[in-house]
Structure 1
Amino acid sequence: MEVLEFNGAVPAIEGKVVTELLCIEMWCDGNLEEQANVIYLKIDECWYRHYFDCGIIFWRCDSVSPNSFSMDELNCFFKVVNLKEKLSLGSLELASLSFHSIEGGSKSVFTFSDDRSITFSNQNDVTSYMA
C-alpha cells in the first residue's frame, strides 16, 4: 500500500459534536456516478469539506453549507444528501477519525460516540460510503 498524502491540515475535530453531515452525490446522464464526491461536516460554526482526488486526501474549512448544482456542459447534477438523516445519526460526538491506504486509493473512517462508524472509500477516483 502507498503512503497517504494529505492536502490541507486534518482538523482537530475528534471529541467534537458533529451537528451536520452531508455529502454531494454526482449524477451524470441520469446515473449515479459517485456516491460521495465531497463530504461536509459541520462542527461548531465551521463547515469542514473533505474529499479525495488522485489518491490525495483533502481537507478545507468553509463558512457556508453546500448547495446542489448542475454542470450542464457535462450533463451532470451534484445533489446534496443529508447523511445524518439518511443514516439516522443524531448529533454525535466524533470519537475518532482515521485514514488508511487501500488498493487503488484511500479511505477515511469516522467513528462516533455510540460506536457506529461511516467509512468513505475512494478507489480509482470514485468515492463511496458504507455505514
Structure 2
Amino acid sequence: MEYQINGDQPKIIGKKCGGLYLIQQQEGESVTDPANTIYLKFDSAWSKLCFNGSTIFWRHEAPSEPVNDNIGICLVLVNLCDLDGVVGSELMKIQYSGNDEVVSAQFNFSSGKSLKFIHNCYDDFTAVNY
C-alpha cells in the first residue's frame, strides 16, 4: 500500500514556522492518539494536516478548540508554539512515506530538528517523533 495525498500541500517550504498545534484524543488518563490533527502556521496562514488510512490530507484551516460532550473520551488542543527548533525555524523539506502498516510525513527544519508524524493505518492513531 502506498500513501496518497488529498488536497494540495501548502507552499510552505523555505518559510518560517510561526505556530504548531496538535489535537490529541484522550481516553480517561491516557493519550490514545497523540496527533489526531496537526495545525502548522506559516506566513500567518494555518494549514491542517491529518491522516485516514493511507491518505494524507492537507487543508487550509485554522485551529479551533474542540468541543467535547464526554469526559471519558475527548479531544484536547495542545499548543506547541514554543517548541524549540521548530517554531521560528525555516522548513527545509517534507518527506512522505508509506507501507502496509504506516504512513508518515517528516518535516525537516533549518535548526536541524525534525518532526515526524507516523500514522498507524490499522489502529488509527498518529504518533509524533521529535
For Structure 1 versus Structure 2, the TM-score category normalised by the shorter chain is 0.7 to 0.9
Q: Structure 1: where are the runs of 5+ without partners? A: none
Q: Does 1:67 align with 2:65?
A: yes
Shift of 1:110: 0.3
Gap change, CA 1:43 and 1:78, over 3 Å in 2 = same
4+ residue runs of structure 1 moved beyond 2 angstroms?
82-85, 87-90
Tell me how far apart the structure 1 counterparts of residues 100 and 58 of structure 2 sit (CA, whole Å).
Answer: 21
User: Which residue of structure 2 aligns with residue 95 of structure 1?
Assistant: 92
Q: Does 1:57 align with 2:62?
A: no
Q: Does 1:5 align with 2:1?
A: no
Paired AA for residue 69 in structure 1: V
Asked whether the 8 Å contact 2:106–2:115 carries over to 1, the reply is: yes
- Length, aligned pairs only: 127
Q: Normalising by structure 2, report the TM-score.
A: 0.88
| Deviations, residues 44-102 of structure 1 (Å, cap 9, x unaligned) | 1211000001221000001x332143142x832211112343x4234111011110114
Shift of 1:103: 4.0
Across the aligned residues of Structure 1 and Structure 2, the Cα RMSD in angstroms comes to: 1.7
Picking from 104, 109, 120, the partner of 1:112 is 109
Q: Pairwise mapping of residues 20-39 of structure 1 onto structure 2 (< 5 A)?
A: 20-39=19-38
Q: Which has the higher helix share?
A: 1
Asked whether the 8 Å contact 2:3–2:99 carries over to 1, the reply is: no
Paired AA for residue 77 in structure 1: C
| Deviations, residues 13-67 of structure 1 (Å, cap 9, x unaligned) | 10011100111110023321111000000111211000001221000001x3321
Asked whether the 8 Å contact 2:118–2:127 carries over to 1, the reply is: yes
Q: Which has the higher strand share?
A: 1
